[in-house]
């Protein structure tokens, strides 16, 4: 993600800020320009951009309930921003703790949509004239009168992404991570993984790329339920690290795609952040001559190839892992990019850049 600045005083602010810590102006994120806009209330529900930004906006309907700071163009009649329009079901906010969990989930979702919009990938909302819009249900487990519990499973089905809001609780998410034997488990990782299933549908299945997909990931026509059951019963093959990005990716070709897609998003967005803060200083800067134009990655989103992206990625992760260890924290990126994963990342890179609007 890039760096953001208050349009009024030019002080640096964060993507999720609602106010500038320097000039105390109200802030909002304008998805059309990817700017943080300082705002002035006109007293009639509209907010005018001030300083270096232009436009008149409204606040998203979810600005107070889900801490959404995305802005709506005042010339439209939408009540929710372009990110929140994808929600179909939100949690019952009368239940204690649900608002905090939902707020945490929406923070991860906004980061996801930054990437989606950055690339110009299709993200139709309900009501658009498409067969498979991208929609979200944020649900909680339901305890029945007899004491049994209907569990909500996080997953994707024909454009509908369901997230169990318990994942918005840090303690529960950490317990789930340990139970699943995962190196890490994050909200943004959930969103990036699940949206990978959605983009498999519309970019691979509906984009006439099945043959190329099957050559790298395997045949998705293998029974999905049986494959998951086998994975949970037997675990991953002993040599999984030679062929996959994670042990879960071995479960089924769909999961391999979604896991690799998520890591491609991890890489592109983190490289943009590292570049914005001057942290990309090793591999790309060491290349000179004609290769520099090919391999120089100004942002993870404009990398000429997956190989160029990885050349920037590896030194960044080595440095970030070392910094985390200096603070007694787990590695930022505890994964190894083997040759098979590199080929899959190249598939992702071509898929995204061929499909971007």
Confidence band for 297, pLDDT divided at 50, 70 and 90? low
Overall size of the chain counted in residues: 357
Strand partners, 217: none
| Average pLDDT for 315-327 | 93
Decide which of 298 and 97 is more confident: 97
pLDDT of residue 27: 98
* Spatial separation of the C-alpha atoms in residues 25 and 17, rounded to whole Å: 11
b/e per residue, 173-211, with b = 16+ CB within 10 A?
Answer: beebeeeeeeeebebbbbbbbbbbbbbbbbbbeebebee
The pLDDT of residue 278: 86
- Using DSSP, state whether 301 is helix, strand or coil: helix
Query: What pLDDT score does 5 carry?
Result: 97
Question: At 106, is the pLDDT very low, low, confident or very high (cuts 50, 70, 90)?
Answer: very high
Give, rounded to a whole angstrom, the gap between the first and last alpha carbons of the chain. 19
Helix (H, G, I), strand (E, B) or coil at 172: helix
Confidence of residue 291 (pLDDT cuts 50, 70, 90): very low
Q: What is the pLDDT of residues 221-240, one digit of tens each?
A: 999 999 999 999 999 999 99
Number of helical H runs and strand E runs in the chain? 10, 13
Specify the 3-state DSSP secondary structure of 2: coil
| Alpha-helix residue ranges (DSSP H) falling in 7-152 | 98-119
Q: What is the pLDDT of residues 130-151, one digit of tens each?
A: 989 999 999 999 888 888 889 9
- Alpha carbons 58 and 51: distance in angstroms, whole number: 17
| Cα–Cα distances in angstroms (integers) from residue 141 to residues 8, 91, 92, 100, 152, in the given order | 45, 11, 12, 16, 5
Is residue 168 scored above 80 in pLDDT?
Answer: yes
**Of residues 301 and 230, more confidently modeled:** 230
**Rounded to 10 degrees, what is the CA torsion of 166, 168, 169, 170?**
130
Tell me what the mean pLDDT of segment 161-176 comes to: 94
Q: Supply φ then ψ for residue 301, to 5 degrees.
A: -80, -15
pLDDT for 285 equals 53
């Amino acid at each position: 993600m890039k760096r953001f600045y208050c349009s009024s005083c030019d002080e640096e602010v964060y993507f999720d800020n609602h106010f500038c810590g320097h000039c105390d102006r109200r802030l909002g994120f304008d998805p059309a320009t990817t700017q943080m806009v300082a705002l002035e209330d006109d007293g009639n529900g509209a907010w005018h951009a001030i300083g270096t930004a232009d436009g008149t906006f409204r606040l998203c309907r979810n600005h107070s309930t889900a801490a959404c700071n995305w802005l709506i163009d005042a010339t439209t009649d939408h009540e929710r921003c372009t990110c929140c329009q994808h929600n179909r079901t939100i949690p019952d906010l009368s239940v204690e703790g649900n608002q905090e969990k939902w707020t945490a989930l929406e923070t991860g979702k906004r980061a996801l949509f930054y990437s989606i919009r950055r690339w110009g990938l299709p993200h139709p909302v309900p009501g658009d004239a498409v067969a498979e819009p991208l929609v979200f249900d944020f649900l909680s487990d339901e305890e029945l009168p007899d004491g049994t519990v209907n569990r909500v499973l996080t997953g994707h089905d024909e454009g509908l992404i369901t997230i169990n809001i318990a994942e918005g609780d840090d303690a529960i998410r950490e317990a789930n991570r340990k139970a699943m034997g995962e190196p890490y488990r994050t909200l943004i990782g959930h969103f990036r993984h699940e949206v990978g299933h959605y983009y498999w549908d519309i970019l691979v299945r509906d984009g006439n790329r099945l043959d190329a997909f099957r050559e790298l990931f395997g045949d998705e026509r293998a029974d999905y339920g049986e494959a998951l059951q086998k994975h949970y019963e037997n675990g991953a093959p002993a040599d999984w690290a030679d062929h996959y990005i994670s042990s879960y990716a071995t479960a089924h070709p769909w999961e391999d795609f979604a896991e690799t897609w998520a890591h491609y998003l991890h890489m592109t967005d983190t490289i943009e952040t590292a570049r914005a803060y001057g942290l990309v200083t090793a591999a790309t800067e060491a290349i000179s001559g004609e290769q520099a134009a090919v391999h120089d990655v100004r942002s993870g989103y404009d990398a000429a190839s997956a190989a160029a992206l990885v050349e920037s990625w590896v030194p960044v992760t080595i440095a970030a892992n070392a910094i985390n260890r200096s603070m007694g924290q787990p590695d930022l990126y505890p994964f190894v990019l083997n040759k098979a994963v590199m080929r899959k990342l190249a598939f992702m890179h071509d898929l995204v850049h061929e499909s971007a609007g």
